[in-house]
């Protein structure tokens, strides 16, 4: 479904991503792993159009997506749950969700999706009219994921969804990701929690210094010393 | 007591105009970080549109609508022609761009029409005074207050009830994520300019009705006051801009009304001192924008 070839991202003189290839098949969870600064977030940002790709090609279901502005990519079905959640703190929970689905479906369909989200995340239903900034970290993460799901994306990119959450909440987030995959969603997951990511992922890709250091089935990577090595090296 | 009430009406009426202008500046600033020095010229353009419509012997309501429409178009056109190319530039570059736009428009009117004021005659009932018990107030003041209140209510409705309005509030917090939702950046920015233009148009109608004339520098003074109001309220904060507008209007009117005659020449200096005092007390403004921006 997603195919990335030779992707490069530069910030001025700094090369964050130096030519990576990756593929995500329909209905798969692919975990993108690596130390801080390995280029994971930049890779996601480039796929979602938040930063320009210096070189390389991004295709979604065979259609070239490279260079399209963020909003066009979102309309093409690429959803991103950004690092640090980035919910709209001054807007209510309901307004956050409404924006998530704003351009993707007619009003009736949006209402149905909103009800589905509130059924899936009862806390968001209870806090519907509260400012999102007043939610706990875990609740904000749920909101950030629900907001992305309101668009019914073809491909969901998730950047560190468990970062900074309490252990119980981390478990809930991973359960949720597994449940979304079971419903057929395709997910590219960036995570620092390596064991739990490889536990739910089909395949894993380890980045180091902006390049693919290692790739393979999640189970093999989980058993490999090289994964630990790649982490400690950087 | 009666003078106090009368001055309060005047303060609300003048402060309301400042509030509309300050709000227009704040709406744009909160989203594109542009301090639009050409905002006063939007008001001027609207003033000339009203003058021209009346010159064509169009009925007054049509002239007013023309003023509003031209203000919206002027603001949106400014964005499209001058500011869109500069999007993402630093605050200083944007500020200088807006200076250029402002000067160009001023010179166009000075050379194209006249540097001197042209008269705009509005219907007599607007300039009448009415007795409210013991106080006599100008009809135009009451019309201003009602119009400002209606404009603020309508803007509140747009920002809370429409998708693009909600997106505008969201964009003031985190524009990149708004785009991640698939909402077009250009639409949000254009709406912000359209709203600022509409508010400047309403302010222009009220200003022209009170002054009875239009000149190329017409927008400069009130918008300067509106700048002070946005800073006083907290740059980028919409409620702050409204509060700031009313405070600046009140300080101006009450000093004019109650200062001893000998002190009147120092009115502006005293007014600005009061505002500096308020800013020393609350450096981020009376009601600062809640969120730190990230782009």
DSSP code string of chain B? -HHHHHHHHHHHHHHHHHHHHHHHHHHHHHHH----TTHHHHHHHHHHHHHHHHHTT--HHHHHHHHHHHHHHHHHHHIIIIIGGGTT--HHHHHHHHHHHHHHHHHHHHHHT-SS-EE----HHHH-EEEETTEEEEHHHHHHHHHHHHHHHHHHHHHHHSHHHHHHHHHHHBHHHHHHTT--HHHHHHHHHHHHHHHHHHHHHHHHHHH-EE-TTTTHHHHHHHHHHHHHH-TT-HHHHHHHHHHHHHHHHHHHHHS-GGGGGGHHHHHHHHHHHHHHHSTT-SS--SS--B-
CB contact under 8 A, A91 and B163: no
Whether B143 and B206 have beta carbons less than 8 Å apart is answered as yes
Residue B122 has a pLDDT of 79
Q: Quickly state the pLDDT bin for B44 (edges 50, 70, 90).
A: very high
Residue A233 has a pLDDT of 46
Residue B290 has a pLDDT of 67
Residue A230 has a pLDDT of 60
CB contact under 8 A, B169 and A98: no
Question: In chain B, which residues have their Cβ closer than 8 Å to the Cβ of A96?
Answer: 170
Residue A187 has a pLDDT of 97
Residue B99 has a pLDDT of 94
Task: Look at residue B64 and tell me whether its pLDDT is greater than 90.
Answer: yes
The pTM is what? Answer: 0.91
Cα–Cα distance for residue pair B120/B106, rounded to 1 Å: 19
ipTM (interface predicted TM): 0.92
Burial of A64 (0-12, 13-18, 19+ CB in 10 A): exposed
Residue A32 has a pLDDT of 95
Please name the residue of chain B whose CA is at the shortest distance from the CA of residue A80. B180
Task: Look at residue A211 and tell me whether its pLDDT is greater than 80.
Answer: yes
Residues B36-58 have a mean pLDDT of 96
How close, in Å, is residue A75 to chain B by CA atoms?
5
Among B177, B237, B295, pick the best mutation site for testing chain A contact (most A Cβ within 10 A): B177
Among A49, A89, A93, A102, pick the best mutation site for testing chain B contact (most B Cβ within 10 A): A102
pLDDT tens-place string over residues B251-294: 999 999 889 988 888 988 999 999 999 999 998 899 887 654 43
pLDDT tens-place string over residues A172-194: 999 999 999 999 999 999 998 89
Interacting residues of A45 by C-beta distance below 8 A, sequence separation 6+: A9, A51
Question: In chain B, which residues have their Cβ closer than 8 Å to the Cβ of A91?
Answer: 166, 169-170, 173
Residue B1 has a pLDDT of 61
pLDDT tens-place string over residues B69-97: 999 999 999 999 999 999 888 989 999 99
Question: In chain B, which residues have their Cβ closer than 8 Å to the Cβ of A69?
Answer: 179, 185
Task: Look at residue B133 and tell me whether its pLDDT is greater than 80.
Answer: no
Residue B291 has a pLDDT of 53
Percentage of chain B beyond pLDDT 90 is: 77
Residues B194-206 have a mean pLDDT of 97
**H or E element at residue A216:** strand A211-217
Q: Which residue has the higher pLDDT, A104 or B77?
A: B77
Residue A192 has a pLDDT of 87
Which of B104, B94, B99 minimizes the C-alpha distance to B28? B94
How close, in Å, is residue B233 to chain A by CA atoms?
18
Cα–Cα distance for residue pair A85/A87, rounded to 1 Å: 6
Task: Look at residue B136 and tell me whether its pLDDT is greater than 90.
Answer: no
Residue A231 has a pLDDT of 62
Residues of A at the B interface, defined by Cβ within 8 angstroms:
48, 50, 69-71, 74-75, 79-80, 82, 86, 88-91, 95-96, 98-100, 102-104, 147, 151
CB contact under 8 A, A102 and B184: no
Helices (H), B118-161: 124-127, 139-161
How close, in Å, is residue A220 to chain B by CA atoms?
34
Task: Look at residue A206 and tell me whether its pLDDT is greater than 50.
Answer: yes
Q: Mean pLDDT for chain B?
A: 92
Q: Mean pLDDT for chain A?
A: 92
pLDDT tens-place string over residues A37-91: 899 999 999 999 999 999 999 999 999 999 899 999 999 999 999 999 999 999 9
Terminal alpha carbon distance of chain B: 51
Question: In chain A, which residues have their Cβ closer than 8 Å to the Cβ of B177?
Answer: 82, 86, 88
Cα–Cα distance for residue pair B242/B22, rounded to 1 Å: 7
Residue B59 has a pLDDT of 93
Residues A107-114 have a mean pLDDT of 91
């Amino acid at each position: 479904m997603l195919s990335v070839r030779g992707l490069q991202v530069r910030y001025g003189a700094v090369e964050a991503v130096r030519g990576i290839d990756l593929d995500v098949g329909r209905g798969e969870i692919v975990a993108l792993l690596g130390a801080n600064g390995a280029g994971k977030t930049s890779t996601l940002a480039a796929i979602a159009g938040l930063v320009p790709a210096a070189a390389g090609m991004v295709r979604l279901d065979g259609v070239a997506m490279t260079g399209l502005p963020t909003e066009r990519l979102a309309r093409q079905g690429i959803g991103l749950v950004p690092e640090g959640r980035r919910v709209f703190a001054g807007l209510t929970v309901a307004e956050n969700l409404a924006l998530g689905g704003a351009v993707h479906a007619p009003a009736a369909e949006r209402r149905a999706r909103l009800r589905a989200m509130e059924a899936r995340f009862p806390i968001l239903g209870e806090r519907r009219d509260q400012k999102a900034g007043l939610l706990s970290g875990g609740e904000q993460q749920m909101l950030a994921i629900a907001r992305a799901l309101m668009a019914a994306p073809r491909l969901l990119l998730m950047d560190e969804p468990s970062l900074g959450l309490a252990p119980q909440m981390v478990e809930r987030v991973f359960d949720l990701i597994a449940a979304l995959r079971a419903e057929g969603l395709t997910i590219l997951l960036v995570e620092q929690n390596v064991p739990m990511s490889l536990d739910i992922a089909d395949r894993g890709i380890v980045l180091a210094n902006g390049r693919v250091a290692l790739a393979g089935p999640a189970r093999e990577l989980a058993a490999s010393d090289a994964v630990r090595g790649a982490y400690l090296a950087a | 007591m009666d003078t106090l009430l009368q001055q309060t009406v005047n303060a609300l009426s003048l402060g309301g105009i400042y509030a509309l202008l300050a709000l227009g500046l704040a709406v744009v600033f909160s989203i594109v970080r542009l301090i639009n020095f050409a905002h006063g010229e939007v008001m001027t353009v609207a003033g000339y549109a009203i003058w021209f419509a009346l010159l064509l012997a169009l009925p007054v309501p049509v002239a007013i609508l023309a003023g509003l429409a031209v203000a919206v178009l002027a603001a949106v056109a400014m964005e499209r022609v001058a500011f869109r190319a500069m999007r993402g530039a630093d605050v200083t570059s944007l500020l200088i761009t807006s200076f250029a736009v402002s000067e160009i428009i001023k010179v166009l009117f000075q050379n194209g029409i006249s540097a001197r004021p042209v008269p705009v005659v509005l219907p007599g009932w607007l300039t009448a005074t009415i007795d409210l018990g013991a106080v006599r107030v100008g009809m135009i003041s009451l019309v201003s207050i009602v119009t400002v209140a209606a404009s603020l209510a309508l803007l509140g409705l747009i920002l809370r009830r429409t998708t693009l309005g909600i997106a505008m509030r969201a964009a003031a917090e985190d524009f990149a994520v708004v785009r991640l939702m698939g909402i077009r950046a250009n639409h949000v920015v254009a709406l912000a300019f359209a709203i600022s233009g509409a508010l400047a148009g309403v302010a222009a109608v009220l200003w022209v009705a009170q002054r009875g004339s239009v000149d190329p520098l017409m927008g400069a003074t009130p918008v300067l006051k509106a700048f002070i109001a946005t800073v006083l309220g907290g740059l980028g904060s919409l409620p702050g801009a409204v509060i700031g507008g009313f405070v600046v209007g009140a300080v101006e009117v009450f000093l004019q009304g109650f200062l001893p005659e000998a002190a009147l020449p120092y009115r502006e200096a005293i007014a600005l001192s009061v505002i500096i005092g308020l800013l020393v007390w609350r450096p981020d403004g009376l009601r600062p924008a809640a969120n730190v921006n990230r782009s």
